[in-house]
A and B are shown apart, each in its own frame.
Chain A
Amino acid sequence: MEQASTKPAVSARLRNYGLQMWKARFIYLLALPGIVYLAIFQYGPMYGVLMAFQNFRPRDGIMGSQWVGLANFQRFFDHPHFWRLISNTVILNVYQLLFVFPLPIIFALLLNELRGKRFKKTVQTVSYLPNFISMPAIIGMMIMFVSPTDGFVNRIIVSLGGEAVHFMARPEWFRPLFIISEIWTTLGWAAIIYIAALAGVNPELYESAVIDGASRLKMMRHISIPSIAPTIIILFLLNVGTIMSLGHEKALLMQNSLNLETGEIISTFVFRRGLESLDYSFATAVQFFNSIINIAILTIANTISRRVSETSLW
């Protein structure tokens, strides 16, 4: 009896579901290009990650190549540059966290204190500008500015009585140049989110604080900063979570044979080994190892933040 009563219910629900899907057929049609795109260009490469466990040869494809287990990962751990790659990547990220991350917050707080509307608008508009300049242009400008023969930076150093520095050829300058150009590029754009959060603060809070005789610094500390604190935490969390990942494009443009000691990071190593030395499986293994670490770190950072501050990414 019970079966007899549930079966029609299930099939009715199924029919109902099918009817809803049929009703939404045009919606699925609209979603189709996106689904096809994701399946081919996003999930397709995920299948390709299998080559990390193979001795992959393009001629044989993934189905035909020889499986080697974790041998490629072992090769990476035994690689003479293993620790150098990890530390170069992490150190650049830590520098970003220390020197790049706080500046947009300070910039937004100071901007919030400006009373002149037009001046404020001008500063804001100009500060976004570098965000629209391409990476080759930024690094190209940097290389020319610090050139030991013709760059204005070295002219200033020489005119102050110093000696011209061949910045791009010196490993100890890779990180400072990376960070300085990063600040120049991202300061204004990264501040947008804080500026918007500050604009959303109820003006009555400031008004009543003034009546209570609070100074502007006090208001900044007790009203402005708390109002953007959740945003700061989320973004800080994201930054900590990506401490082992760093895009290849900028570092690649800045690298040359003389500064690799500090300049080579995991992502550029993947490019060199994979697409220059054609060691496909090895490079894929390195990147896969890196992704796994990244996901793990992000998860840990998220969990800690949820416990401590009740703010989290998910």
Chain B
Amino acid sequence: MVRDKSISSMLMDVIIHIIMIFVLVVTIYPVLHVLASSLSGRIANEAGLVSFYPVDFTVEAYVMIWQAGTVPNAFVNSVQYTAVGVLIQMLVTTSFAYALSRKGVPLRGFLTFFAIFTMYFSGGMIPTFMLVRNLNLLGTMWALVLPPAMGITNMIIMRTFFQNLPAELEESARLDGANDLTIFFRIILPLSKAVLYTIGLFYAVGHWNSWFPAMIYLRDPDMFPLQLILRQIVVLAGDIRDAAMTGELHAVGFLGQINVIAIRYAVVCIAIVPMLIIYPFVQRHFIKGVMIGSLKG
């Protein structure tokens, strides 16, 4: 960028820096407040002494959550649903995207339309629920992992990536007598790690953060994923000292005179930390993915 040392330019720099620091603080403060409150003592929390660092540092909230067992159990459920869900999504999406990326295949245009049409029109919530019910998937993990088995946007990102791989690789393999399956698994996939990584993480974030399908499809609280438990403990609760919310906490195993505020903030922390740890490592890939996706046309 060109340097401009006029007064107005310097003033502009100052203003922009102030705005950006404001954005930084506003973005980070809520997260720090949650983390700090989850590690603060009950009296400090109830007196509102906690800002962005713990006061009367204690991990009692986390100990209680561990002992009550509901949240750890839900955490394991979420890990399981995320792992199985992403595996299915990657298998379906990758192979379908590769098929659509090959030129000269009869019916390719129709298959593309078949997929893209579903972006503009879908059956909606109730017919999907009925379908899952008719397939006898209610109350099982499959109700969570099968309905979102392929995201069309993600599929298109992958297709675009495959299309942009150099064609010579494939041609020389074909001369060596390789068929489409061999080419796909032995040549294309190893070259596509970046996009597989990106889409895999898009999917993982989606599954990890999902709660609504679990709410409508699962009955057994022992099967609930973490985000649904989070909703019960934190969102449905209303005010901290509300009787109904104490009921919610009792229902999931917390009793007595306890550091309610810290517990609820701790649940939020447990629910968001895995994604916050992952994202700095992959954000560059994510951004590339968003770009390809937006260029699809």
Contact = CB atoms under 8 A, between A and B. Distances in A.
B285 to A, nearest CB: 12
A262 to B, nearest CB: 18
B111 A126 contact: no
Contacts of B252: none
Contact of B20 (A33, A114, A132): A114
Interface residues of B, number: 103
B59 interface: no
Interface string B105-137: 111000100110010111111111111011100
A129 B189 CA distance: 29
B211 interface: yes
A119 B180 CA distance: 47
Main secondary structure of the interface of B (DSSP, over half): helix
Interface stretch (A73-81, A83-91, A93-101, A146-154): A146-154
Interface residues of A, number: 95
A111 B216 contact: no
Contacts of B287: 192, 196
A51 B130 CA distance: 10
Interface in A202-257: 203, 206-207, 210, 215-217, 231, 248-249, 252-253, 256
Interface string B250-281: 00000000000100110110011001101110
Interface in B8-47: 8-9, 12-13, 16-17, 19-20, 23-24, 26-28, 30-31, 33-34, 45-46
Given A38-B150, A248-B212, A139 B131 contact: no
A161 interface: no
Contacts of B8: 215-217
A135 B3 CA distance: 43
B62 interface: no
Nearest to A41: B147
Contact of B102 (A27, A130, A284, A291): A27
Contacts of B181: 26, 29-30
A140 B230 contact: yes
B20 A287 contact: no
Main secondary structure of the interface of A (DSSP, over half): helix
A145 interface: yes
Given A21-B106, A48-B123, A48-B126, A252 B23 contact: no
B114 A287 contact: no
Contact of A140 (B123, B134, B268): B268
A147 B239 contact: yes
Given A29-B181, A35-B111, A206 B240 contact: no
Contacts of A148: 239
Contacts of A21: 106-107
Contacts of A132: 205, 209, 272, 275-276, 278-279
B291 A193 contact: yes
24 contacts: A26-B184, A30-B95, A44-B127, A48-B131, A111-B20, A113-B16, A129-B279, A134-B227, A136-B211, A140-B235, A141-B34, A141-B268, A147-B239, A149-B239, A168-B238, A184-B30, A192-B290, A192-B291, A203-B1, A215-B6, A217-B12, A248-B212, A270-B126, A287-B125
Interface of B: 1-4, 6, 8-9, 12-13, 16-17, 19-20, 23-24, 26-28, 30-31, 33-34, 45-46, 48, 51, 91-93, 95-96, 98-100, 102, 104-107, 111, 114-115, 118, 120-131, 133-135, 146-147, 149-150, 155, 179-181, 184, 205, 208-212, 216, 227-228, 230-231, 234-235, 237-241, 261, 264-265, 267-268, 271-272, 275-276, 278-280, 283, 286-287, 290-291, 294
Q: 8 closest pairs, A vs B, by CB?
A: A45-B123, A48-B127, A34-B96, A140-B234, A134-B209, A31-B99, A26-B180, A45-B127
